[in-house]
Structure 1
Amino acid sequence: MGVYWEKFKYFLTDLSQEDILRWLDEYNDLGPFPGILLPMLEAFLPILPLVLFVAGNAAAYGFFWGVLFSWIGTVFGSVFVFLLVRRYAQQRFMRFLTKHNKTKSMLSWVERKGFGLLFVLYCFPFTPSALINVVSGLSKVNTLTFVLAVSLGKLVMVFFISYIGHDFFSIIREPVKMIVISVVIVILWLFGKLLERKLHKPVNTKISE
């Protein structure tokens, strides 16, 4: 038992990109499955190093496939957690949670801002996305709205990490990277705002009728 605990502790605290690359190489017979599984697990265990998983995928599979596998894994993991909370925890804990003013205001804030807020939060690598998944599941945010927000936001985040690798200071040494990342974020943010308006348009139409 002690040996397994030590391995698990190492996996949580001392894991390096070289370890991930070696692990992906050992299980390369499984194809993209390991590259999808690692980012997916982070949705359930937020202490896991998502940045290393994404950077490792980009190094192991190449930029395009690394981005794709990381994106699929992290989106599926987030949506799965959201659906689990929505299905099994929302009704059970809603009465308890809504008794606390801070919790009520947080849920209300997420519900009011909807797509735009979730999209922006998921764009950044160090946002506690596991918490956002749970809060979104407990809120009344539409499932389609959540899926679209997490899909586009995680795309920005995965692209960001894969593009600069695990060395975040490279964007300081190479200003071109900062420019490219900023352009991508602005374009997807504008696209997100346009999509948000379209998502809310049917609701407004029904209200006006």
Structure 2
Amino acid sequence: MDFELLKDWFTLENIMGLIEKYRTFGPVPGILLPLIEAFLPFLPLFLFVMANANAFGLWLGFLFSWIGAAAGAFIVFLLVRKYGQRRILKVLKRNSKVQKLMNWVERHGFGPLFILLCLPFTPSAVVNIVAGLSKISIAQYMLAVVTGKMVMIFTMSFVGYDIKSLITQPMRTVIVAVIIFILWYVGKRIEIKMNMNVEKEKKFRRAK
């Protein structure tokens, strides 16, 4: 396979053409493209999100991209969690850098993961794998993925749909920043409650 040729094919026009070609399947192409990117991180997620926003409109495009990206990340996480003891992943798990990342994820939980997943250029495939190998709870990671990907995908959709508005209407940029803070704060409060419930369960088991 000629990877240079493949790389050249990935343009906004070609991806939008692909979505239009399979438009009879409704939102399926718009959801599948970002979902597949979770397994093949070399694919251009930003172009997929931009194409969805332009093909389906800002809000529907954002929704389809968000569902696909969040579902893909969570599936990768679950697969790594389930098969983490297999030989290949065991070797990865013993790597000192991976162990440091795993310990960091376990210690800090939702907050830093949320921030990492908000950032468009974070290697989310690495985050998914490390989180899957760590002992972070499924509920915690799902919360971080759903909220973090929401912010990242909305930002991408917003920029891709109307890039000029970031300069001509700075108030929109301020609103996006406020939404990011609110989601982070709400997620952090939920994480604290979840941790309290876990501690209560541990104390209850010890009392038995």
**TM-score normalised by L of structure 2:** 0.88
Which residue matches 2:186?
Answer: 191
Task: Label 1:94 to 1:58 Cα distance change in 2 as closer, same or farther (>3 A).
Answer: closer
Partner of residue 155, structure 2: 160
SS at match of 1:60: helix
CA distance in 2, matches of 1:140, 1:93: 18
Cα distance, 1:175 vs structure 2: 2.3
Please give the residue correspondences for 1:140-159 in structure 2 after superposition, counting only pairs within 5 Å. 140-159=135-154
Of 36, 51, 56, the match for 1:61: 56
CA contact (8 A) 1:110 1:136 kept: yes
> 1:111-150 counterparts in 2 under 5 A?
111-150=106-145
Q: Which runs of 5+ in 2 are unaligned?
A: none
Alpha-carbon contact 2:117-2:145 (below 8 Å) kept:
yes
C-alpha distance in 2, partners of 1:91/1:179?
A: 46
SS in 2 for 1:38: helix
* Residue 13 of structure 2: aligned partner: 18
Q: How many residues align?
A: 204
Equivalent AA in structure 2 for residue 55 of structure 1: M
RMSD between superposed Cα atoms in Å: 2.2
1:64 aligned partner, one-letter code: W
Structure 1: any 5+ residue segments left out of the alignment? none
Q: Does 1:171 align with 2:180?
A: no
Deviation at 1:10, TM superposition (A): 3.6
Q: Structure 1 residues 10 and 17, CA, compared in 2 at 3 Å: closer, same or farther? A: same
Q: Equivalent residue of 2:84, what SS?
A: helix
Q: Would the aligned equivalents of 2:70 and 2:145 in 1 still touch at CA under 8 Å?
A: yes
Q: Once the two structures are superposed, what CA deviation does each residue of 1:161-195 show, in whole Å capped at 9, x if it has no partner?
A: 11111786863554233212211111111111111
- Show the 5 A alignment for 1:65-104: 65-90=60-85, 92=87, 96-97=91-92, 99-104=94-99
Percent pairwise identity: 46
What SS does the corresponding residue of 1:48 show, helix, strand or coil? coil
Compute the displacement of 1:102 (Å). 2.6
Answering whether residue 22 of structure 2 is matched by residue 27 of structure 1, we say: yes
Secondary structure of the residue aligned to 1:149 is helix
